[in-house]
Structure 1
Amino acid sequence: MSEDRPARPSDIARAALEAARAASAARPAPTRRRVAGPRRRWTGPRPGDDDPQPLGRLVDSLVSTQDWSEQTRVGAVFGRWSAIVGADIASHCRPETLTEGELLVVAESTAWATQLRLLAPTILAKLRASVGGDVVTRLRVVGPTAPSWKKGPRSVRGRGPRDTYG
């Protein structure tokens, strides 16, 4: 090339490329850093243990590792009562306590208490199918309780307030 002629843009670009190649060749080659731990392998079409998990699966594993299965089944009796026995029955009664396998159910009237006593085998079968067989073994149904006329620390035996009415 001649010195008196101005440099063309392609010559400038070529010179810059050659300078970059020379600088790259002079630099040492980069080394790959090794990540601590075992090498990750492909797990296949199913999710692996280190992949994000659904919340339900995580809660189930927590319940099993902490041995909370019995408490969650007892809580399911109270929490899913209307889904287990049906909305119609659940609107007229509610579970009160569960002690040693006996579920106390309080009905809103004596008629519903009688009906629930007749339906007790069916309700027990639904509870066994939904929650498990050993959680609820007996069903005790009571009607509404009458108000107590006993007030205060002292009381007198007898007919109560009925003897004062005309």
Structure 2
Amino acid sequence: MTTTRSTSPTALVRPDVRLHQSWAATVLDFRHPGAMHGSGEWHMPEVVATEAGCGDFVAAQLAAESADPAGTRVASTYYWIADGASGEVLGFFHLRHELNEWLLDQGGHIGYSVRPSRRREGHARRALAAGVRRAGALGIERVLVTCDAENAASRGTIRAAGGVLEDVRGTKERYWITVG
């Protein structure tokens, strides 16, 4: 299978209900919300692909950015992966500002998911590079990114970003990227 590279820039944008039409198309492209799991979207409420549903989704994402007192959720920032030229929503991106025990073992600092119809265009690679830079701006010197052991595409994306395999824990490959 050949890889198609988009010539459009990729941007990380903050969740915004003004992008509801493009967001809804992205959600429907995933077929079901659980398919967006790489970006942490699996814990969101049931997604309804309407403007009101987008508003609920944005509110849930923004509310989930704060750490909880129990330490089960760390401070984080949600982004949407977008085509930098058109603004089309292409996927979802989650940057965790620190690691708790589970994130160190399985989840990592960064999770991302690109909609199926826009994969193999380089958007994940460019979004990951932008996310690593944003992590560096937060003072994070090494970023942990994980992927399922059978996910060759994500493995390639992480390695292209400078990821170095530390180990495999269960079904998760754990890569560290030095911010620089």
TM-score, normalized by the shorter chain, greater than 0.5: no
**Higher relative contact order (CA closer than 8 Å, sequence separation 6+):** 2
Q: Which one has a larger percent helix, Structure 1 or Structure 2?
A: 1
TM (normalized to structure 2)? 0.20
Q: Which one has a larger percent strand, Structure 1 or Structure 2?
A: 2
TM (normalized to structure 1)? 0.22
